[in-house]
Structure 1
Amino acid sequence: MSTAPAQQEIEEAAVSAPALFDLERMRNYPRIVLGIFLLSAILLVVTSHDGLDLKDRPLGYDFITFWGASELTLDGRPEAAFDMDQAHEAQQKAVPATQAAYLWHYPPTFQLLVAPLALLPYALSFFVFTALGFGAYLYACRPLLNQPTPYWLLAAFPATLLCLYHGQNSLYSAALFAGAALASERRARGALWAGLFIGLLAFKPQFGLLIPFALIAAGQWRIFFAAAVATLGFCGLATAIFGFGLWQVFFGNLELVRTIFEDGLLPWAKMPSAWVFFRYLGVGADTAYALQALAALGAATVVVIVWRRIGMTRASWAVLVSASLLVPPYLFDYEMALLAVPLAIIASDMAVNGASRGEKLWLLALVLIPPLTSFLANATHLQLGFPLLLAALWLAVRRSLRETA
């Protein structure tokens, strides 16, 4: 828990830091970033026509997938969300002028969560969904960031703004990771809450694959079993409502996902995974998968070593979240919003314990570059997001091992 002396210590550290990180700039830069974002959002709406932007994409063009799946689910046809024609028909109820079909690839757990969205008109539903995710993200991550003006800094994290632009769900993932990290520090019922938050991550299961290894390595059996029960309960509830058939459709759809992914029908420039990084370098698909598996195995090994060595701390959570982003080959730039969790922990540690200028510059790069990776990939034909994720893990590990030095 923060105290007045601790806050004074943090502010003094910020003031004595190099000018790039002085207190005045930490107050002003986030406001500038948010101001630019708000102006661009207003411009996007003003220049739109019939709910479409200048590229004829619906406003919030990722969210339209969620709204369309909800429309079909409420209509008693949850399996139809995976059918291109029926999905497009539902999406046109949200934005009649849209011509492209946006595909649904999520498990029944997330379909259960988005089911109520179509009870509201599209624009209002978009606002409610993004506002709740943004609020949960700020509320959960705030205690991790012991810095002056924490809400401004968190709100202005550029990868977070990508989620707001797209109407994506990564802010909910970040909030759940942050909630699990904070709950794990509590005694009594903390393990149950941490397990519940981890279980809810089953709506995007690829980000939870390393969690069991971390908990086992640290001997956190109460959280492990609480998370297992919560995950099974979440999946069981989705199955009870939708039936096993929807799971069969979801797993059957994975072949389509693989095909459109490998054929480049999804924008590789926006996908900072190891697979895409090596494909840009001309490596064959099978070899790229092997290298992706190697990256995932390396990330898992690092997590196990750190959690076994220092136990379950905020620093080890920073390592876990950073490593989790290296696991899936199917990864988008807006999912780098999860970096807010480790970066908040790292920034707080730097403020209290000090850091080299090089570490601070890496932190600044990790804050600023994620939304630029797609532009850089188009310009250079290199996916720089993957090395950036490696840098995030390296910085998290470097700071975490200070606890054993």
Structure 2
Amino acid sequence: MFETLKSGRFFDAGRARVYAWLTAGLTAAIAIGWIALSRDGIDPTGKPLGTDFVSFYAASKIALDGAAADAWSIARHGLEEARLFPGEHDYTAFFYPPVFLLVCLPLALMPYFVALGVWLVATGAAAIAVLRRLGRGADGRARIGLAAMLGFPAVFVNAGHGQNAYLSTALFGGGALLLDRRPVLAGALLGGLVFKPHLAIVLPFALAASRRWRAFFACGASALGLIGLSAGLFGLDAWRGFLAGSAVARATLEQGLVEPAKMQSVFAAVRLVGGSVAAGYGLQALVAVGVIVVLTHALRRVSSAGRRAESRPGETEGAAMAAAALLASPFLLDYDLMLLAIPLVVLTRTGLDRGFRPWEIAVLLAAYILPLVSRSIGLALHVPLAPMVVLAVFALAVGRIGSAAGARDDEPTREAGELPAG
């Protein structure tokens, strides 16, 4: 059994194609059925369709009224949510910095459900477009089909929550895609992650270690520019409101106000198995420092040697950075696993072009289904899967950094090109 998993020979082209279409079709059917069973915008569980998008929309409405600082007032923000959907509904807090209002403010000019559709389609299309570019092989042809991308369970999870993981994936993936060819634009895109800063923890360390200085400074300038623009448009009181509201975000994390099984971080894993808050923070810090050290060492080693043998090293480095970002943040929810699509696409494409390494196919398959099962297994068995699977993906991505271009890695367990592009 272990030899079969190690070699990946249990997963052939036919199975890959069938499973991709099955997951994509099942996702579409569930989404259509869920909407059909909803009444007056309220889903079968009693929550507004879009769930978390209600928070974004309410905050944007408040900002449009000229009181952006009140977006972080629970009383004011909760009142706006209640106006949108009267009745008994859970409150959805707004934890994002004022930079995020730059993105979602125009949506409040539209009716709620129109805005939700525009938000998901626009950000989702951007993410898929980036992933498709990342999935092109050395010959320029697609290595991974659209069905496999749309069938990735995190796509459905993010859509169901009306969340912003498509946007973070588009920015992170776009930065990886452009690191080699247009480093300034790549850095500017990565700087856009300041709207969700806990996912950008690893970026300055990684860009500095790889000596990608143009991207490094562009990233910083982009982040500072967006902060300045948001302060100019919404006032410093908005930033004061956000900083004051960070205490609520911390309480949400530490007190399990968000369902612990829904959280996917190392911190949450410790809490899920009964560990203390202190133990959670301790292990989270240890893992965060560890992945940053491992990643920067790998990047520095390649940079110091004066070579990047791969033809597209930035994409491989970006894949490792995306996995590291998921491991470094203590505040991570199941929809944030959408970011795993970047290493999944890059590592699969690399394996198809150059041969898969031992265990690589098994790990990639585990990562692909992770967003579908991690929450339910956490609830039922109190087993936190996400940190272990993401750590395995991180190890694979780091192992690919600096490998020889155009040549297969030593002892591939599957020949190049054995999995389907469609």
- TM-score after normalising by structure 1: 0.91
Decide which of 20, 31, 44 is 2:11's aligned counterpart. 20
1:252 partner amino acid: A
1:293 partner amino acid: A
Aligned to 1:369, the other structure's residue is in SS state helix
2:389 partner amino acid: L
1:402 deviation in Å? 3.9
1:71 deviation in Å? 0.9
What corresponds to 1:235 in structure 2?
A: 227
1:57 partner amino acid: K
What corresponds to 1:10 in structure 2?
A: none
Kindly indicate whether the alpha-carbon contact (under 8 Å) linking 1:306 and 1:316 is maintained by their aligned counterparts in 2. Answer: no
1:84 deviation in Å? 2.2
Decide which of 148, 156, 165 is 1:161's aligned counterpart. 156
1:75 partner amino acid: D
Moved more, 32-41 or 146-155: 146-155
The 1-side partners of 2:330 and 2:380 are apart by 22
Decide which of 46, 60, 77 is 1:56's aligned counterpart. 46
Map residues 132-211 of structure 1 onto 2, 5 A cutoff. Answer: 132-146=122-136, 147-186=142-181, 190-211=182-203
CA deviation string 1:216-273 (max 9, x = no partner)? 1111111111111111111110011111111111111111111222111111101111
1:98 deviation in Å? 5.0
Aligned to 1:61, the other structure's residue is in SS state coil
1:135 partner amino acid: A
What corresponds to 1:266 in structure 2?
A: 258
The 2-side partners of 1:183 and 1:115 are apart by 28
**1:19–1:279 CA distance, 2 compared to 1 (3 A):** closer
1:152 deviation in Å? 2.1
1:19 deviation in Å? 6.0
CA deviation string 1:343-387 (max 9, x = no partner)? 111001110111146221111111012221110001111221111
Aligned to 1:69, the other structure's residue is in SS state helix
Does residue 254 (structure 1) correspond to residue 255 (structure 2)? The answer is no
RMSD: 1.8
Kindly indicate whether the alpha-carbon contact (under 8 Å) linking 2:24 and 2:152 is maintained by their aligned counterparts in 1. Answer: no
Aligned to 1:173, the other structure's residue is in SS state helix
Kindly indicate whether the alpha-carbon contact (under 8 Å) linking 2:360 and 2:396 is maintained by their aligned counterparts in 1. Answer: yes
**1:353–1:220 CA distance, 2 compared to 1 (3 A):** same
Decide which of 37, 40, 43 is 2:33's aligned counterpart. 43
Larger RCO (CA within 8 A; separation ≥ 6): 2
The 2-side partners of 1:150 and 1:237 are apart by 39
1:20 partner amino acid: F
- TM-score after normalising by structure 2: 0.87
Moved more, 234-243 or 253-262: 253-262
What corresponds to 1:3 in structure 2?
A: none
The 2-side partners of 1:182 and 1:142 are apart by 11
1:288 deviation in Å? 1.4
Per residue, is there more helix in 1 or in 2?
1
Does residue 31 (structure 1) correspond to residue 21 (structure 2)? The answer is yes
1:169 partner amino acid: N
The 1-side partners of 2:301 and 2:151 are apart by 34
The 2-side partners of 1:313 and 1:101 are apart by 41
What corresponds to 1:325 in structure 2?
A: 326
Decide which of 239, 255, 274 is 1:282's aligned counterpart. 274
Kindly indicate whether the alpha-carbon contact (under 8 Å) linking 1:52 and 1:98 is maintained by their aligned counterparts in 2. Answer: no
2:130 partner amino acid: A
CA deviation string 1:73-96 (max 9, x = no partner)? 111121222222322221233333
Moved more, 275-284 or 145-154: 145-154
Aligned to 2:327, the other structure's residue is in SS state coil
Does residue 295 (structure 1) correspond to residue 290 (structure 2)? The answer is no
The 2-side partners of 1:204 and 1:70 are apart by 17
Alignment coverage as a number of residue pairs: 385
1:213 partner amino acid: F
The 2-side partners of 1:282 and 1:38 are apart by 36
Unaligned runs of 5+ in 1: 1-16
